[in-house]
Structure 1
Amino acid sequence: MTVRILLPIAATAVLIGLALLWGARVAANRFVYVSELGADGEPTAWAFRWALLLIASAAVVVAVAARHLRSRLRVLAVWTPSVSLVVAGVSFAVASQVTCTSGCPLPVGSSFTWQDLIHTSIAVLGFAAACVAMLQVATAKDHPGLARLSWISAVVVAVVAGTGGILSLARFMVDLGGILEFVATTVALLWLAVLALALLGATRPTPEMR
């Protein structure tokens, strides 16, 4: 019963978090990467922190509801999608509190700081864990609808985020890279919200719950 109550709340939390990120992006009025919204001194930092905390909480709730899901592929079945979602949720929660320094420089060379290294590493870990969860759900047993949605989302996120990441590392066409990262983030968060609602539909109340 508790899970059925929390899943729609989780889906709503994801959408609010996404709205906060896009609202902050519009308020910034410039091309930025997602993490730059929460950088030291940015007026949008509060929105970034709240957005990531909402998304992190939702990911953990969805993880609890997705305990029965498991990939058909051995390489992806070493752990369950629930574990991947918990890792993503915890990573986003940490990234919401340990934000990058102004401009979010890559933590290399003369621009190295432990703060940037921690934020960058944990943010990449969280996004990677979310992508693994998509692939695991895409190959889950007995859930063809979720599988199709997750395959499409995983491919889009991988291609778009990968391209944006390469542009960021190369410091080439960074404006386009920022747009691509926001697109990939949007797709991933919409996937999480839809997954929460899909799990709600799959969680039928027992006679005792009615």
Structure 2
Amino acid sequence: MDNDVAEWEARYASQEHGLFSGNVNGPLPVEVSGLTPGRAIDVGCGEGADAIWLARAGWETTGLDVSTVALARAAEAARAAGVQVDWIAAGVADASGTFDLVAAHYPAIKRSPGEPELAALLGLVAVGGTLLVVGHGPPNPEFARSRGFDPADYVLPDTVAAALDDRWEVLVHEQRPRVRPTPAGSPWTHDDVLRARRRT
């Protein structure tokens, strides 16, 4: 098992009742409110709250995550909610197909030489489709490194924005206050939100 996968399995398994709140991430309802439901994929879906919200809103939804522990909880939550979601245990580089909405909230997508992960993320967006990437703000690399990771090693909204060429239209790229209170001890009081439409 890949070390990163093993780490996420252990993190989820360490919390008997779930690692996260089970609530939809605040930017998602705001950013998709004007979109016509179609095919959606939630990249790094974790325990499934965003994917379940999308399914309830009429989207044909896929949840993608490397952790089978998280996906088992997500599937149970979807059954309880009475919605159908296609759960896939894989990283973004192994995903296939194209989607009308590709959403990634606080993704833990590690970068590597040649940026295949970033290319894979962009490649999931169908022509005319929407890419939504949300990260933590404002940037605080010192705090992040104190928690054992360097933000420069991961795909972030700024990373994605810098990779978008004239095939894309950037509709939103801004920091805004978090909808829910910032967790105790965290300096990230805002969300960094990037929403773009694929023209061609």
Normalized per residue, the structure richer in helix is: 1
* Smaller-chain TM-score bracket: under 0.3
- With the length of structure 1 as denominator, give the TM-score of the two structures: 0.26
Higher normalized strand content (fraction of residues): 2
- Tell which structure's C-alpha radius of gyration is larger: 1
Point out which structure has higher relative CO (alpha carbons under 8 A, 6+ apart). 1
